[in-house]
């Protein structure tokens, strides 16, 4: 199992580090082995910098992944907007390949003014079209990871996300446990709540894909509409808690990647999860 942060934490910059090229060594010194590069606001990474990060990641055994732009909405009926979504996915796939990774986390879409069933169909069609374009571009080895979302207005509850992954064997789910916690009004309180999620993934996708899945984990604040903001592990009033998930992942032989999205403390909190994980052995 690999652990790491989404982007660079506050402490990274507070200690005087300047660029993501320096992140792999810094993370390795903390015992971490994964790093998710965020292209949330658009893909803007030079070939030169990508190669520098890739080299450092290889030197320090850091597995790279990427988060595609937040602007993607494969449910959008506007042809131009859909074309933009395909372009964002393609650009993110090109970037993660340059970084030496293969996983691209994708926010698939939002309901907008459509019926949810129609929005879902358009998202399914969009993911299939995205893979056709990746194949045509020689990027068929990229694994798109549809993410479970934290707001009711977004496409991607647990079952919807698993449905997407059934469209193509290359896809892995990005199970964001904080988002599921927010979407269920704080529903991940007991070990049994996490068991039900893992059981569902294993039943729908099979144990091999389930064990490899991409995960996001943080604590989260939510409202009746769902996700409000990510919090930190030290803010103990917020859930979910990795202590309840780690024993299940270990007992079932999971070997995927866990990315921490805690606000500002993502590297330190990733290290805490790694320590919890190591305590299971």
pLDDT digits 0-9 by tens, 80-111? 999 999 999 999 999 999 999 999 999 999 99
Query: What is the pLDDT averaged over residues 38-45?
Result: 94
pLDDT at 217 over 90: yes
Q: How remote is the C-alpha of 126 from its chain's centroid?
A: 19
Cβ partners under 8 Å of residue 120, min gap 6: 75, 155, 160, 163
CA distance 116 to 75: 10
Does residue 222 have a pLDDT over 90?
yes
For CA atoms 44, 47, 48, 52, the dihedral sign is: positive
Q: What is the mean pLDDT of residues 20-40?
A: 97
Q: Predicted confidence band at 168 (pLDDT cuts at 50, 70, 90)? A: very high
Coil vs helix vs strand at 135: helix
Query: What is the pLDDT, as a whole number, of residue 105?
Result: 98
The per-residue pLDDT for 24 is 98
pLDDT digits (tens, 9 = 90+) for 256-269: 999 999 999 999 99
Tell which residue, 119, 167, 120, has the closest CA to residue 143. 167
Task: Please say whether the beta carbons of 24 and 34 come within 8 A.
Answer: no
Percent of the chain past pLDDT 90, that is, above it, reads 99
Rounded Cα–Cα distance for residues 27 and 35 (Å): 8
On average, the pLDDT of the chain sits at: 97
Please report which confidence band the pLDDT of residue 14 belongs to, taking 50, 70 and 90 as the band edges. very high
Query: Which pTM does this prediction carry?
Result: 0.97
Residue appearing with tokens 């079209």: 129
Q: Write out the two tokens for 281.
A: 């052995």
* Spans of all domains in the chain: 2-278
Q: What is the mean pLDDT of residues 119-140?
A: 98
What pLDDT, on the 0 to 100 scale, is given for residue 153? 94
Q: What's the confidence (pLDDT) of residue 279?
A: 97
The pLDDT score that the predictor gives to residue 248 is: 98
Q: Distance between alpha carbon 42 and the CA centroid of its chain, in Å? A: 16
Residue 64: strand pairing partners: 35
- Tell how far CA 239 is from the center of its chain: 18
Structure confidence at residue 281 as a pLDDT band (50, 70, 90): confident
Q: How far apart are CA 171 and CA 105, in angstroms?
A: 10
- Which one of 3.10.20.600, 3.40.50.920, 1.10.3720.10, 3.20.20.150 gives the CATH number of domain 2-278? 3.20.20.150
Which token pair is 258? Answer: 């866990």
DSSP states of 20-78: GGGHHHHHHHTT--EEEEE-TT-----HHHHHHHHHHHHHTTPEEEEE--TT--TT---
């Amino acid at each position: 199992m690999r652990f790491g942060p989404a982007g660079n934490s506050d402490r990274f910059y507070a200690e005087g580090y300047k660029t993501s090229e320096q992140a792999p060594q810094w993370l390795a010194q903390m015992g971490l082995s994964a790093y998710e590069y965020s292209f949330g606001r658009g893909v803007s990474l030079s070939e030169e910098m990508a190669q520098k990060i890739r080299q450092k990641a290889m030197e320090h055994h850091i597995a790279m992944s990427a988060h595609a732009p937040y602007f993607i909405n494969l449910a959008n009926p506007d042809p131009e907007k859909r074309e933009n979504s395909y372009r964002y996915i393609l650009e993110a796939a090109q970037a993660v390949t340059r970084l030496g990774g293969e996983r691209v986390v994708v926010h698939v879409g939002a309901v907008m003014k459509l019926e949810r069933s129609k929005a879902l169909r358009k998202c399914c069609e969009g993911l299939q079209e995205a893979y056709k374009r990746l194949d045509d571009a020689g990027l068929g080895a990229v694994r798109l990871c549809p993410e479970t979302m934290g707001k009711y207005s977004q496409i991607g509850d647990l079952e919807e996300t698993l449905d997407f992954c059934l469209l193509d064997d290359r896809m892995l789910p990005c199970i964001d446990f904080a988002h599921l916690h927010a979407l269920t009004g704080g529903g991940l309180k007991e070990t049994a709540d996490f068991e039900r999620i893992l059981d569902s993934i294993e039943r729908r996708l099979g144990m091999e894909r389930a064990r490899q899945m991409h995960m996001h984990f943080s604590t989260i604040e939510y409202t009746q509409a769902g996700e409000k903001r990510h919090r930190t592990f030290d803010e103990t009033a917020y859930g979910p808690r990795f202590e309840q998930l780690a024993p299940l992942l270990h007992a079932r032989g999971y070997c995927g990647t866990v990315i921490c999205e805690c606000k500002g403390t993502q590297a330190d909190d990733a290290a805490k999860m790694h320590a919890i994980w190591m305590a299971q052995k």
